[in-house]
């Protein structure tokens, strides 16, 4: 990538940014303001709405509080979220009953909404009810933690609520940390509710009723957002306010323009540049790159287990043995990520964590032998689908897949499909062989298996049906014996590695490019920037 003034001016958004920056600053000093450029748009202020972009999730996490949030842990010089630690946000803490069926939530007594009114237990109860009753993206997610009814929430006193669970669900509390679990100023929201819209969903698309670390000062849908620090925020882990008093977010579609803005010192942070641009940015005298594997997701190659010949486990094993893993890793993402192949274990894994490196290696002789065992010594013909939106990484991978499988007799026709067509065919289970990515907000092993490898539903990429996996994941969900849970998780991974419904490839890095003066960057499960822990040094 060659960065110069001409590439900046190629993008109208970049030129607009440069021209408008002095007017946007509102008198704040350079040190007090963070300038963030993103390639996509913030299309709603209510993250529970269908179609909400990841950028909308990121904004919401900085503007709204939840009752709880995940902790974070060090990853080299930077940080990554830690789902094993749950801390209070609008809640100061919680207690769990010995049987795991009742969570008592203790609210912060000094919390206020952005309009200055106090946060009440009635507000929290209304927000929790909305979370499970409104027609939105929230109820399906909450159901993964056995949170399905408003009757599960009860006000005990002005500072205390109870949440009851039908079973000791491992992810009941964790679901109160996710992007959909926003706590809302109910008194303000109700002023804009109607008989047809009792949860004020229409109004909250373009307005907020929040208590979080930042207050929206200006919102231009699809263009820019300006935030100012909430000086009365009490939801931080350390009791301190964020370092930055103002955040300016601008949509700048062209990756080269975003890179140039950071190189010039006209922007401070961007997280969605191309992997191919990272070597240049790493050599920059003004910028640095935080490369953190997306540890709650995976890139995969999937075989539809209901379609011939991929209904034959020997065929799937043969494909896994024929793939050129290292070549794909380097060509697709320039080696920027964590490998999910070349694992050293056989049989039962040593770790119960998932995703983890599977014991898959390139072995052409083994692939040929497995095809012969499958009754296909001369191979077969198939298609391999990729999405146009992922072409930058998927096309070089697909070319290597075609070449490698050709060596064992499998003739591959690469089909590059428009995103809408690809997504529809994937959802309708009409793709026999393809590549895609997946991310789980709640990265528990049983949850991955429940979400991606059970039931006839959208996210079971391979349409895999295995009764042992169904039984093990169902039991693990409510398992209170830690040793038994670990054993069940290892067994699921063992079955997965033997049956190969899909091939895990890698966890790509999230490359955050920032000014050298920015510190405290955290990789979050929603894959967007968290401004609350950032600072200028």
**pLDDT tens, position by position, 300-351:** 999 999 999 999 999 999 999 999 999 999 999 999 999 999 999 999 999 9
Q: Is the pLDDT reported for residue 429 higher than 90?
A: yes
CB burial string 409-439: b at 16+ within 10 A, e below: bbebeebebeeeebeebbeebebbbbbbbbe
pLDDT, tens digit, for every residue of 340-361? 999 999 999 999 999 999 999 9
Task: Determine, yes or no, domain membership for 146.
Answer: no
Task: Determine, yes or no, domain membership for 167.
Answer: no
Q: Is residue 256 located within the same domain as residue 403?
A: no
CB-CB neighbours of 4 under 10 Å? 10
| Confidence bin at 2 (pLDDT 50/70/90) | very low
Q: Is residue 344 located within the same domain as residue 435?
A: yes
Q: Is the pLDDT reported for residue 11 higher than 80?
A: no
Residues 159, 142: Cα–Cα separation, whole Å: 23
The 3-state secondary structure of 294-335 reads CCCEEEEEEECCCCCCCCCHHHHHHHHHHCCHHHHHHHHHCC
Q: Is residue 304 located within the same domain as residue 432?
A: yes
Quick check: 450 and 471 in contact, CB under 8 A?
Answer: no
Q: Is the pLDDT reported for residue 57 higher than 60?
A: yes
Q: Is residue 481 located within the same domain as residue 533?
A: no
Residues 89, 103: Cα–Cα separation, whole Å: 15
The secondary structure element, H or E, covering residue 138 is: helix 138-143
Average pLDDT, the chain: 93
Length of the chain: 537
Residues 128, 292: Cα–Cα separation, whole Å: 33
Q: Is residue 354 located within the same domain as residue 379?
A: yes
Q: Is residue 249 located within the same domain as residue 361?
A: no
Task: Determine, yes or no, domain membership for 313.
Answer: yes
Residues 6+ apart with CB under 8 A from 12: none
| Confidence bin at 245 (pLDDT 50/70/90) | very high
For position 307, what pLDDT does the model report? 97
pLDDT, tens digit, for every residue of 213-243? 999 999 998 899 999 999 999 999 889 999 9
For position 16, what pLDDT does the model report? 52
Q: Is residue 336 located within the same domain as residue 453?
A: yes
| Confidence bin at 31 (pLDDT 50/70/90) | confident
| Confidence bin at 28 (pLDDT 50/70/90) | low
Q: Is residue 275 located within the same domain as residue 328?
A: no
Q: What are the residues facing 337 on neighbouring strands?
A: 508
The enclosing domain of 260 has a CATH number of 3.40.190.10
pLDDT, tens digit, for every residue of 130-164? 999 999 999 999 999 999 999 999 999 999 999 99
Residues 239, 224: Cα–Cα separation, whole Å: 29
Quick check: 251 and 151 in contact, CB under 8 A?
Answer: no
Quick check: 432 and 303 in contact, CB under 8 A?
Answer: yes
Task: Determine, yes or no, domain membership for 310.
Answer: yes
| Confidence bin at 12 (pLDDT 50/70/90) | very low
Structure-model confidence comparison of residues 535 and 30, the more confident one: 535
Residues 522, 144: Cα–Cα separation, whole Å: 26
Quick check: 67 and 183 in contact, CB under 8 A?
Answer: yes
Number of domains the chain contains: 2
| Confidence bin at 277 (pLDDT 50/70/90) | confident
Q: Is residue 368 located within the same domain as residue 234?
A: no
Residues 473, 485: Cα–Cα separation, whole Å: 10
Residues 6+ apart with CB under 8 A from 29: none
Q: Is residue 467 located within the same domain as residue 526?
A: no
Residues 165, 59: Cα–Cα separation, whole Å: 30
DSSP string across 462-478: T----HHHHHHHHHHHT
Q: Is the pLDDT reported for residue 4 higher than 90?
A: no
Residues 6+ apart with CB under 8 A from 260: 3, 4, 5, 7, 8, 14
Task: Determine, yes or no, domain membership for 118.
Answer: no
Q: Is the pLDDT reported for residue 366 higher than 60?
A: yes
The enclosing domain of 395 has a CATH number of 3.10.105.10
Cα distance from N-terminal residue to C-terminal residue, the chain: 28
- Once rounded to an integer, what is the mean pLDDT over residues 169-191? 97
Helix%, strand%, coil% for the chain, nearest 5? 35, 25, 45
Task: Determine, yes or no, domain membership for 86.
Answer: no
For position 30, what pLDDT does the model report? 77
Boundaries of domain holding 393: 297-509
């Amino acid at each position: 990538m060659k960065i110069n003034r001409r590439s900046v001016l190629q993008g109208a958004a970049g030129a607009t940014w440069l021209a408008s920056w002095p007017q946007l600053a509102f008198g704040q000093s350079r040190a007090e303001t963070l300038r963030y450029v993103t390639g996509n748009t913030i299309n709603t202020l209510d993250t529970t709405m269908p179609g909400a972009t990841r950028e909308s999730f990121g904004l919401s996490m900085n503007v709204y509080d939840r009752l709880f949030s995940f902790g974070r842990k060090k990853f080299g010089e930077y940080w990554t979220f830690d789902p094993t630690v749950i801390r209070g946000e609008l809640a100061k803490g919680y207690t769990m009953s010995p049987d795991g069926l009742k969570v008592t939530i203790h609210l912060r007594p000094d919390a206020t909404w952005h309009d200055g009114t106090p946060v009440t237990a009635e507000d929290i109860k209304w927000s929790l009810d909305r979370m499970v009753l409104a027609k939105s993206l929230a109820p399906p997610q909450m159901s993964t933690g056995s949170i399905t009814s408003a009757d599960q929430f009860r006000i005990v006193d002005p500072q205390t609520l109870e949440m009851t669970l039908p079973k000791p669900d491992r992810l009941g509390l964790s679901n109160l940390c996710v992007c959909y679990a926003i706590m809302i100023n109910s008194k303000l929201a109700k002023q804009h509710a109607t008989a047809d819209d009792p949860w004020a969903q229409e109004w909250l698309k373009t307005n907020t009723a929040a208590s979080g670390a930042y207050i929206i000062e200006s919102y231009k849908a699809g263009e820019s957002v300006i935030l100012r620090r909430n000086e009365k925020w009490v939801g931080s882990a350390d009791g301190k306010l964020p370092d930055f008093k103002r955040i300016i977010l601008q949509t700048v579609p062209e990756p080269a323009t975003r890179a140039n803005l950071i190189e010039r010192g006209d922007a401070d942070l961007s997280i969605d540049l191309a992997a191919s641009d990272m070597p240049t940015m790493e050599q920059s005298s003004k910028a640095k790159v935080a490369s953190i594997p997306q540890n709650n997701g995976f890139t995969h190659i999937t075989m539809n287990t209901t379609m011939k010949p991929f209904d034959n486990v020997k065929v799937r094993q043969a494909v896994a043995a024929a793939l050129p893993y290292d070549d794909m890793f380097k060509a697709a993402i320039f080696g920027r990520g964590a490998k999910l192949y070349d694992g050293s274990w056989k049989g039962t894994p040593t770790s119960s964590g998932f995703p983890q490196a599977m014991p898959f290696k390139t072995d052409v002789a083994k692939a040929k032998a497995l095809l012969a065992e499958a009754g296909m010594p001369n191979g077969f013909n198939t298609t391999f689908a990729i999405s146009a939106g992922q072409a930058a990484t998927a096309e070089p991978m697909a070319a290597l897949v075609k070449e490698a499988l050709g060596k064992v007799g499998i003739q591959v026709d690469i089909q590059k499909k428009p995103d809408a067509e690809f997504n529809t065919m994937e959802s309708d289970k009409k793709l026999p062989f393809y590549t895609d990515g997946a991310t789980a907000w709640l990265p528990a092993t049983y949850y991955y298996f429940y979400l991606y490898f059970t039931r006839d539903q959208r996210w079971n990429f391979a349409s895999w049906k295995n009764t042992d996996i169904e039984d093990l994941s169902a039991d693990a969900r409510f398992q209170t014996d830690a040793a038994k849970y670990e054993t069940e998780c290892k067994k699921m991974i063992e079955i997965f590695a033997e049956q190969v419904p899909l091939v895990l490839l890698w966890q790509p890095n999230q490359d955050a490019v920032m000014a050298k003066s920015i510190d405290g960057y955290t990789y979050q499960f929603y894959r967007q920037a968290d401004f609350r822990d950032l600072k200028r040094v």
